Chain A
């Protein structure tokens, strides 16, 4: 099983709303990732969690707040977003951080900020 699941599939929110994106994997992977992808562009890394600890934050604005409650779950809390934050948000996982390790992606959450 190489499945990463994400909820919701679609999300529309206003700039004053607070919402959360959820990601789950049951492959026993210890590294999980959040990416942002704009249309016709490659995924851009936002955050990396390794063994439930944040190991990389790619200078992401504080209106995005990641959380890793346990080794299977990864959340992304959203608050006071801007219209330019509208994008596909992808979660991925890998067995561990490091080299020679495949990242498996979820289907993404399509976010629209009004």
Chain B
């Protein structure tokens, strides 16, 4: 499959701080990317997406940045809250296929 990897498997942040979760991908032809949040015992939940013709997209407290030059994707969470504790997956859409990264476990320290 495609190589969609994350730089850090775990991340701990203080409540109220900003979090940055990174993802590298290898297929320059990928045209769509999604960030999913998966809480313990639940299915992945869509957070935000971005198309390859964009380099930034903002949602509520979240921002996704896409750097096609270095094939890098990041998810920024502003004012991280305890409810943000979860595993975050990036997913890359190439043709008809979706490829998931290995996941980053985010722990928010109260």
Contacts and interface: CB of A to CB of B under 8 A. Distances in A.
Interface of A: 2, 4, 6, 40-43, 45, 88, 90, 97-108, 110
B51 interface: yes
Interface string B9-41: 000000000000000000000011010100001
B2 to A, nearest CB: 12
25 contacts: A4-B43, A40-B105, A41-B103, A42-B89, A42-B101, A42-B103, A43-B44, A45-B98, A88-B43, A90-B44, A98-B96, A99-B31, A99-B93, A99-B94, A99-B96, A100-B32, A102-B34, A102-B49, A103-B34, A103-B91, A105-B43, A105-B44, A107-B42, A108-B43, A110-B41
Interface residues of B, number: 26
The residue in B31, B41, B102 that gathers the most chain A C-beta atoms within 10 A of its C-beta is B41
